[in-house]
Every structure is written in C-alpha cells, then in structure tokens.
Amino acid sequence: MLALEAPARPGPAQQVIARVVVGRSSMFINWDVTARFDPNSLVSSTQGISTHDIPIPSYGNYGGPNYTAGVEGGTTPEGPNPTPAPVDALDTLFWQHDLVYQHVKDGLVPPQDIPNAIAKADVSLVEGLYALTKTNLDPEAFLYDALGTLTVGAKILTTPSELAYLKANPLDAGAVLTAVQAAIPNFEIGLAETPGNEARSLNGACSRLVSRSSSRRPWLRLVRPVHRRTRISAPRLARPRSSRC
C-alpha cells in the first residue's frame, strides 16, 4: 500500500463475523521486506525509524505501508496490466488502492478533490478486503487481509476528512465498521493457521492498532446515524482479553 508523505495521507448489539474459508498457503507475505508503521500517527514512517514504529511485512508486490511495485517507496504502474503484476486478488486490491495514491502524488487529482479521493480509495479497499474474507483465502492471505483492514480502517476512523466522507455516505460507514469489527477475530484465525514464528511478530502491531483506534474516539459520532440508517451497530474496538490480538 502506497503512503503519501503529505497529510492527505479512524458484546456488541450485533456482532458480524465473516464466514471463514481458509485454503492452502501460497506464502505471499514477504516477512523479510518490512516497512515501519507508527501506530501513534497511523501512517507509515518514511523518514527514519523511531522507537515507536512497528515493522509491518509487505505482501506480494503492492501490500504494505509505502510499499508498491515490489519495493518500498516505489512508483505504482498504470493498468490494466501493471508490471510487476499483483500476485493474487488480495494484491490486486492493494494495487488499485496504490494507484489512487500515486495519482494524488503525481498531481493528477485536483487539490479540492484529494480528500474525497483518498477517503474513497481507503473505504473501497476496506470493503474489498472484507468481501475477500468470504472466499477461499489461504492462511497468509487471510492474516494479511485482516491486518490490512485494521491498519486502513484505523486510519479511516481517526482521520477527520475520512470521517466526513463516511458521514456523507452512511452505507459505506456501516460497511467499514462491520469490516473492522470482523477483522479482529479474523486476525486471530489467520494467526493460528499461519505456520512459523514470523506471524507472532504481528501480535503487537494488531494490539497497538486496536488500542490506538479505540483511544481516538471521533468515529463514535458515526454510531447513531449508521445504526439508524443501516441497522448496524458500532463495534467496540477494545483491547482483547487474551494476550493475542
């Protein structure tokens, strides 16, 4: 997922959990190719490394903070057949998301349209990630799908311009809240199904993302209109009781 360095870059009455279908592992998480993600600002760290940053592995050719076209800080190629090609459906969603950010970075989006363009790209990614959980994802893809949903969902639910977009589009607001709620148990499932010790390193990332999202509360203002119009109640983004996210 490409990151912009400019700012243009947040039980329950009804708990919604995606149907889980975990297939064979395709091993597309690049555990040795990591970017640094700051849970305090909910953006990727492109200027050095601080003690608060957490390493996030990349996925395929387009998944990961500030990671696109197979490299950190790369340039997202145009479609319909980008080179390098996305490795699977999950990576294709990341490429589509990156391409919008690249257009913004290249000045192809009018300044007045940037906030909505970024918000729409983020929301579309989260909705697409949630839809993929209902398909035959392999364990690593299922794990990274949940991580991507939590990462981008946290950004949406804590960014004023993106919250404004959700208030203007209540159906999208309901979809994002549902996806983020489902991603927490889905992360646990993906973690349990993914072999190797590398996956355990994502525990801290997930916990800190959820904690940070729940401590920055502007998204709560969405709860009442979303519940009234879409019959979906807000998730409780609280730290899980278990040691894992």
Summarised one tens digit per residue, pLDDT across range 35-45 is 766 655 545 54
Range 123-146 average pLDDT: 95
| Residue 111 vs residue 6, higher pLDDT | 111
Is pLDDT at 6 greater than 80 in this prediction? no
Residue 221: predicted pLDDT: 47
Range 18-30 average pLDDT: 57
Compute the mean pLDDT over every residue in the chain, rounded to the nearest whole number.
Answer: 76
Residue 1: predicted pLDDT: 72
Residue 165: predicted pLDDT: 97
Is pLDDT at 48 greater than 60 in this prediction? no
Quick one: pLDDT band at residue 116, thresholds 50, 70, 90?
A: very high
pTM exceeding the 0.85 threshold for the entire prediction:
no
According to DSSP, the β-strands at 43-44 and 29-38 are: antiparallel
Contact 227, 233 (CB under 8 A): yes
Range 4-21 average pLDDT: 37
Range 191-214 average pLDDT: 67
Contact 230, 176 (CB under 8 A): no
The region of weakest confidence among 117-131, 164-178, 185-199 is: 185-199
Range 115-126 average pLDDT: 98
Residue 63: predicted pLDDT: 96
Percent of the chain clearing pLDDT 90 (strictly above): 49
Percent of the chain clearing pLDDT 70 (strictly above): 62
Amino acid at 118: I
Residue 56: predicted pLDDT: 83
| Residue 236 vs residue 4, higher pLDDT | 4
Residue 236: predicted pLDDT: 40
Range 228-241 average pLDDT: 38
Highest mean pLDDT among 16-30, 123-137, 211-225: 123-137
Is pLDDT at 179 greater than 60 in this prediction? yes
| Residue 216 vs residue 191, higher pLDDT | 191
